[in-house]
Amino acid sequence: MRITAFMLAFCVVGFCASAHEFWVQPSTLAPTPGSAFGIKLMHGERFEGHAVPRPNTFERFEIVSADHPAVPVPGLAGSARSYGKTAHRGSAIVVYESAWMRNELPADRFNEYLREERLGHVIRERASRGETDRPGVERYMRCAKAVLGSGGGGAGDVNDRIVGLPFEIQILDAREKRVVARVLLDGRPFEGARVVLASQSDPRTLQEARSDADGVVAFEAAQTGTTMLTSLWMRRIPQSQALEESVHQKQAPEWESLWASNVFRVGR
């Protein structure tokens, strides 16, 4: 991993610059082994939002720890709260991967959404295809993590791991006033992803950076405590796949959006 000036560059942006995040919110990031703790699926803007009812279907909702099998997160469909338990000491990761969901927006709203999320590559491709004035049809997936036991064993002791999400943020370092992470798309380091950092103690102040050729971003975090990194990437669905899906839908999605988040603790 190389640390470059590109990685370290960041800017503070307004609270309204991005919106509609999805994250996993445990009731504690340092649960006692053997004791149950609450887990909510949240939707909103940088720690300010509402709990989402647990869906009937999803790809993964589990707790992953080193050297132990993944444990499903129990809960009732439709409930705003699920429950987890870690049986072993050390760090663990709450992992949530949604099923694909479909979204269709009129052209003006879709273009505004692309601008707000800094998805310039999609804006340019739609323009080159003569699609700027067409509605936007996409499918989207949520890929959320929360690192448990982080920040309790000394500076940088976050112990995050790659868990195989389609779009994933792995925390590499979370010592006081410093956060380094890697973005992975389909399991490989991904360059050019816009990553936003927010602190629960100051959710209205955001920082953002783009991942480098190694998929790495770095921030000088102004606050310690519970922190979140989020990212969104959108890509064109291959035509063959779109045609296959059009058999089942009136208009098949042309784009797919992958939303990633990771909640963890900075510092002790």
Q: Are 72 and 83 in contact (CB under 8 A)?
A: no
Whether 163 has a pLDDT exceeding 70, the answer reads yes
Whether 16 has a pLDDT exceeding 60, the answer reads no
Q: What is the pLDDT of residues 231-240, one digit of tens each?
A: 999 999 986 5
What are 145's two structure tokens? Answer: 């993590």
Q: Of 10-14, 100-104, 171-175, 199-203, which range is least confident?
A: 10-14
Residue 87 and residue 36: Cα distance in Å, rounded? 10
For residue 268, the model assigns a pLDDT of: 62
Of the chain, the percentage scoring pLDDT greater than 70 comes to 84
For residue 87, the model assigns a pLDDT of: 75
Residue 245, number of CB atoms within 10 A of its CB: 15
Residue 112, number of CB atoms within 10 A of its CB: 12
What are 168's two structure tokens? Answer: 């994933």
For residue 8, the model assigns a pLDDT of: 37
Q: If you average pLDDT over residues 172-180, what whole number do you get?
A: 89
Element (H, E) at 26: strand 21-26
What is the maximum alpha-carbon separation in the chain? 57
For residue 203, the model assigns a pLDDT of: 80
String of DSSP letters for 30-72: SPPTT-EEEEEEEEEETTEEEEEPPPS-EEEEEEEETTEEEEE
Q: What are phi and psi of 60, to 5 degrees?
A: -150, 140
String of DSSP letters for 134-163: SPEEEEEEEEEEEEETTTSSSTT-------
- Note if the pTM is more than 0.75: yes
For residue 46, the model assigns a pLDDT of: 81
Q: Are 116 and 19 in contact (CB under 8 A)?
A: yes
For residue 11, the model assigns a pLDDT of: 38
Whether 1 has a pLDDT exceeding 60, the answer reads no
Q: Of 17-21, 56-60, 69-73, 243-247, which range is least confident?
A: 243-247
Q: What is the pLDDT of residues 31-73, one digit of tens each?
A: 988 889 999 999 998 898 999 999 999 999 999 987 788 999 9
The four Cα atoms 33, 149, 159, 194 give a dihedral, to 10 degrees, of: 130
Average pLDDT, the chain: 86
pLDDT band at 141 (very low <50, low <70, confident <90, very high): very high
**pLDDT higher for 136 or 241?**
136
pLDDT band at 241 (very low <50, low <70, confident <90, very high): low
Q: If you average pLDDT over residues 128-145, what whole number do you get?
A: 97
Q: What are phi and psi of 129, to 5 degrees?
A: -95, 0
pLDDT band at 249 (very low <50, low <70, confident <90, very high): low
Whether 2 has a pLDDT exceeding 60, the answer reads no
Q: Residues 22, 25, 29, CA angle at the centre, nearest 5°?
A: 140
For residue 28, the model assigns a pLDDT of: 94
For residue 177, the model assigns a pLDDT of: 79
